[in-house]
Amino acid sequence: MNFNELSNEQRRQLIDARQVYDEWRQTRQDQKHSYSGSMRWVRRKGRDYLLRKSGNSEKSLGVRSRETEAEYDAFVFGRQRLRERGKALSERLDKMAPVNRALALGRVPRLTARIIRRLDDFGLLGSHLFILGTNAVFAYEAGAGVHIGAELLATGDADLLWDARRQLNLAFSEVHHEGIIGILQKVDHSFHMRGANDIRAVNDDGFSVDLVRAEDREATRPGGKEVIGEKQDDLHAAPIFGLNWLINAPKYSQMAMGEDGYPLLMACVDPRVFALHKLWISRRSDREPVKRQRDKDQAEAVAALATKYLALDFAGGDLTALPQKLRDLARELSLDNDKGDGASGGDIPEPDW
């Protein structure tokens, strides 16, 4: 399997961009979590009280004292410091973006990148939602420092795997009310569902986003929940056979670069798991024939990338949660350009999960 390895200049720029983006992202998270809302002094019955507002609620932190004054000052000055730092880092990313594009580092399609950034900003990526399908390959090649042929990367959709075992807490109040469709419409207002209980959102250009989940029989969804928040006219997660083990499989996160020249964090399943899953899909009788060969090619490409560049072992103990029948498919992946005896074809038994 041939890969286009990044040049030293590309690698240097990618490393610098990652460092700046990591700092910007951490600053953004600190702003949202530690310095969200506001503080103010209110006089009641002749005494001053410090109030902290968060969302629609306001809580008293106590009467004015040396401690509450110090708390107020720390909040005001800390928030201002983070604002200034965030602005400086944003300006640095703005300057790096055209260089990233000129060096051909931008890989993730613009709309896909914007959607993933928004999911990350809402705190869903890597906790409740993971990137599936072709888009995940962008994360794997970014981690390896290579580019894979465009013929294996073209896609006009995005698949999101929902780990429904993790329920949203109060920190996700906006997601509770707006749902996935509300988040997508913040990126592109033309996103809409075709009908009630739809699993897919489509924009006016035909780009689609699907929400999928593991089947109920593995009891991964508490209470039979089908939407991620409280908004019932939101995307309903489709139960897909074969995703149960992906929920428990190792995950992989990596900063990739959008076509716009700006970084983004991608959270996906482990590249070995991706390869095994893709190969299994390519051998299923109900898979569309036109997609089978591409599935197999993607499986082999990612498997080679995982072993050659990411030093990942298909015999590793971290894959023992997968059914043995799935792990046995590794011999089909032409690792080290050697197909071995397992490449002769034949039916693959359905995994017992």
Residue with the bigger pLDDT between 144 and 58: it is 144
pLDDT band at 177 (very low <50, low <70, confident <90, very high): confident
pLDDT tops 70 at residue 226: yes
Residue 308 pLDDT exceeds 50: yes
For the residues 209-226, what does the mean pLDDT come to? Answer: 68
- Phi/psi region, residue 206 (left: phi>0; alpha: psi -120 to 50; beta: rest), is left
* 152 has pLDDT over 50: yes
Average pLDDT on 284-308 reads 91
Contacts of 337 (CB under 8 A, 6+ apart): 1
Distance CA 330, CA 343 (A): 10
Average pLDDT over residues 250-270: 96
The DSSP bridge pattern shows strands 38-44 and 47-54 to be antiparallel
Residue 334 confidence class, pLDDT cut points 50, 70, 90: low
Helix residue ranges, H only, the chain: 8-33, 66-102, 110-121, 136-144, 173-187, 244-248, 271-282, 289-308, 324-327
- Sorting pLDDT into bands at 50, 70 and 90, what band is 18? very high
Q: What does the alpha-carbon distance between residue 235 and residue 220 come to, in Å, rounded to a whole number?
A: 18
Residue 221: band (very low, low, confident or very high) from pLDDT cuts 50, 70, 90: very low
Q: Which residue, among 143, 117, 110, has the nearest Cα to 302 in the 3D structure?
A: 143
Question: What's the mean pLDDT in 220-233?
Answer: 68
Least-confidence region, from 29-33, 122-126, 250-254, 347-351? 347-351
Range 167-189 average pLDDT: 83
Written as six digits, the tokens of 46 are 């002749």
Distance of CA 273 to the CA centre of its chain: 16
Task: Characterise 337 by phi-psi region: left (phi > 0), alpha (psi -120 to 50), beta (else).
Answer: left
User: What is the arithmetic mean of pLDDT over 94-116?
Assistant: 97
Average pLDDT, the chain: 87
Report the interhelical angle of 271-282 vs 136-144 (nearest 10°). Answer: 130
Torsion over CA: 264, 269, 273, 275 (sign)? negative
The pLDDT value recorded for residue 352 is 39
More confident residue, 338 or 156: 156
